[in-house]
Amino acid sequence: MKRFHVHMHVEDLDKNIAFYSAMFGVQPARKESDYAKWMLLDPPVNFAISTRGSATGVDHLGIQVDSSAELAGLRASAGAAALTLQDNGETTCCYARSDKYWLTDPQGVAWEQFHTLDGIPVFSEKKPETNTTPAPACCAPAATKIVAITPSTTCC
């Protein structure tokens, strides 16, 4: 079995353990004074790259689900944990029509949780009711911090 690995540096470990435990719905598999790790079996990874955006690095992270019911379950868990979310509802972005919302972790990194409804032939479409064009880089909340990937001399 292969497992996607993401390692992020954080400022407040306890605040982030609370956030990610609520978002993933489980406590860490390992917790140390300066480290926590979740060994998630679900979800698999949807990895995408693009030339859109103002800086290179991690743009956002996300969880894609296969049904509206799964998305409703994630949304309910976020609400029960009092996580703030930005609900986009049905929208277009990244060559897809999706039902989605965003969570922002304590560092300002955006997490998209979404259900893809259909593919579209363009990156995004204008919303007819507002006649505005979505943000150029996958519609992540404006407060999202771009996380640059830099070489490290330490390892985990």
Q: What is the pTM of this model?
A: 0.69
Take residue 20 and report the two structure tokens written for it. Answer: 């990610």
Q: How many domains does the chain have?
A: 1
Per-residue confidence (pLDDT) for residue 152, from 0 to 100: 46
Q: What's the alpha-carbon Rg for the chain, to the nearest Å?
A: 16
Q: Residue 43 carries which DSSP code?
A: -
CATH number at residue 84: 3.10.180
Determine the structural domain holding residue 156 and report its residue range.
Answer: 42-156
Per-residue confidence (pLDDT) for residue 134, from 0 to 100: 41
In angstroms, the CA 111 to CA 154 distance is: 26
How confident is the model over 122-150, as a mean pLDDT? 54
User: What is the three-state SS of 139-152?
Assistant: CCCCCCCCECCCCC
**Is 27 among the domain residues?**
no
Per-residue confidence (pLDDT) for residue 98, from 0 to 100: 87
